[in-house]
Amino acid sequence: MDPLLIGGLVVSALTAAGIAIARYRKVKVPRDGRWKKPPVVAIGPDVSMTAVRKATDWWAELGHRFGPITRSPAHDSIVILVDPARLDALRPPVVRGAEVYGEGHGLTRTHREGEFLVSAEILLQNGDDALVIAHELGHAIGFHHPRFCPTGHMMHPSAGSWDDHRGLEA
Ligand SMILES: [Zn+2]
């Protein structure tokens, strides 16, 4: 056999193995708190119901439950608002007594009492980006960005996708 061909085969086998390991290795996603009961998701007038539903459905497949999605303000809920001005004002995170996660198109603040999340607020740049909403919902149910987060993971701070949910099961 041609040594160059053998070399090529070895390289492609190693590359494939590398991709397989990266794809199936465990991703540890730190989590702070959980909701005592499925949180109501109260959304502002500029937030797309369809996008929010797509995002909550994605989490529901992993076993995370949400209460109704409503346009009425609700206590003990996850509130989602389009508010670019406040989003900018709150960045960088300076708020005490709350976890704040800020990225380009969204920001989430959560409040905990002991181990339980009691409220969360998500501010968005625009209200119909389901992927951004899904990522911020992840924060709203307690997930942080994983360390050494693989590109394409839902909780990647800037390059997430729907395709990678490792470590996010309920
Ligand atoms: Zn984030």
Kindly write down the DSSP assignment for every residue of 111-130, as one continuous string: EEETTEEEEEEEEESSTT-H
Of 17 and 72, the structure prediction assigns the larger pLDDT to: 72
pLDDT at 97: 45
Q: Which of 9-13, 71-75, 117-121, 135-139 has the lowest mean pLDDT?
A: 9-13
Domain that holds residue 126: 30-164
Is 106 inside a domain boundary?
A: yes
- Does residue 130 belong to any structural domain of this protein? yes
For residues 7-18, average pLDDT: 73
| β-strand pairing of 77-82 with 116-124 | parallel
Q: Indicate the residue type of 119.
A: S
Residue 36 Cα to ligand 1 middle (Å): 22
Identify whether 114 is part of a domain. yes
32 CA to middle of ligand 1, Å? 14
Q: What is the pLDDT of residues 90-133, one digit of tens each?
A: 776 544 445 666 666 899 999 999 999 999 999 999 999 999 99
Ligand 1 mean position, distance from CA 3 (Å): 48
pLDDT, average across residues 1-17: 74
Contact 91/47 with Cβ under 8 angstroms? no
Output the pLDDT for position 76. Answer: 85
Mean pLDDT of the residues in the chain: 87
Distance in angstroms (rounded) separating the CA atoms of residues 39 and 150: 28
CATH number at residue 75: 3.40.390
Taking residues 41-46, report their average pLDDT.
97
Asked if residue 169 is part of any domain, the answer here is no
Nearest to 52 by CA among 27, 29, 33, 78: 78
Q: 12 lies in a domain?
A: no
pTM, two decimal places: 0.83
Instruction: Give CA separation, 83 vs 43, 53, 86, in Å.
Output: 12, 20, 6
Beta-strand runs (E) in 38-159 = 40-43, 69-70, 77-82, 99-102, 106-113, 116-124, 152-153
13 lies in some domain: no
Please indicate, yes or no, if residue 21 is contained in any of the structural domains: no
Residue 120 CA to ligand 1 center (angstroms) comes to 14
> Of all helices (H) and strands (E), which one includes residue 72?
none
State the distance from the centre of ligand 1 to the C-alpha of 85, rounded, in angstroms. Answer: 19
Centroid of ligand 1 to alpha carbon of 24 (angstroms)? 22
Distance of alpha carbon 152 from alpha carbon 154, whole angstroms: 6
Considering its fold, how many domains does the chain have in total?
1
Residue 103 CA, ligand 1 centroid: distance in Å: 6
Confirm whether 93 is domain-assigned. yes
Distance 158 CA to ligand 1 centre (A): 8
The string of pLDDT tens digits covering residues 54-101 is 999 999 999 999 999 999 988 889 999 999 888 888 776 544 445 666
